[in-house]
Amino acid sequence: MPSKFWTPKRKEALIGWLFLAPEIIGMLLLNVFALGFSLYLSFTSWDLLSGVSGIKFLGLDNFIHMFQDPTIMKALKNNLIYTVLTVPIPMAISLVLAVLIHNKVFWKDYFKVVFFIPYISSIIAIAAVWSALFHPSLGPINQFLMDLGISSPPKWLVDPKTSLLAIAIISSWAGLGYTIIIYLAGLTSISNELYEAAEIDGATSITKFFKITIPLLRSTTFFLFITMLIGSFKVFDIISYLTGGGPDNSSTVIVFRIYQEGFVNYNMGYASAISWLLFAIIAVITAITWKFRNEED
């Protein structure tokens, strides 16, 4: 006789799918549908206040206009500068600090907590403190520089030449603890026998750092590079709070331009087109990085 359709195994599988159904439906509605709708909007003109009936198909006009928009080109340039300032440089500093803490510092757990506190703190609260530190005339940083004999210290957040640098310093400082913790975790997986063998062969601390530590932390470095790279292109809150993209668009980045077009100018079609430009940039950079890593492996 044929076995029953609802076998215990199939019943168990059905129960599992029923538990997963809310998550799957939510993912389809909030991610897949939103992604597809955003792609459709990138080819349209839509004033957010006009309702769905106000959507007008434009074809490639948004993308053509985007590459002719000087503010977008400025935002792209600022994003690249910000990425250089907040990804490779903090990673190098974090690696050195992690090695020092791992090998040379007592009370390692205490220093891990100290460095990690800024990362788990509110970025707006951190920005508020740093805005006071960076005050052009009353801030302690410029007071210290003037005490050193610098008569005209930088105006930091209010100067187009230094506003992006000041924001990068704040972001790097706030994220330093996370990078250090990840590197420390990677360092614990490296066997001490490798360092002891290198010492027997007469290797110096610098040699061990470049020949053992850095190569064996390649996977950790790759993970941090990708996550920090994506994070650098998603920066918004600290720029919105401290400078509002100014002065003179000197700190405007891609995500801030998306916000301006979508929720200030209510031009959701153009904002969606910029969003897909950002997606393409991150996808290309990530694909290139993966390719180089696979070739090295």
User: What's the whole-model pTM score?
Assistant: 0.85
pLDDT by residue (tens digit) across 22-64? 888 888 877 888 888 899 999 999 887 887 888 899 889 999 9
What confidence score (pLDDT) does residue 201 get? 84
What residue segments make up the domains of the chain, in order of their start? Answer: 8-61, 69-296
Instruction: Decide if pLDDT at 76 tops 70.
Output: yes
Contact 228, 91 (CB under 8 A): yes
What confidence tens digit (pLDDT) does each residue in 90-121 have? Answer: 999 999 999 888 887 777 777 778 888 888 88
Q: Is residue 3 predicted with pLDDT exceeding 70?
A: no
Distance separating alpha carbons of residues 243 and 198, to the nearest angstrom: 50
CATH architecture of 69-296: Orthogonal Bundle (1.10)
pLDDT of the residue at 1: 41
* Paired residues of 47 in beta bridges: 267
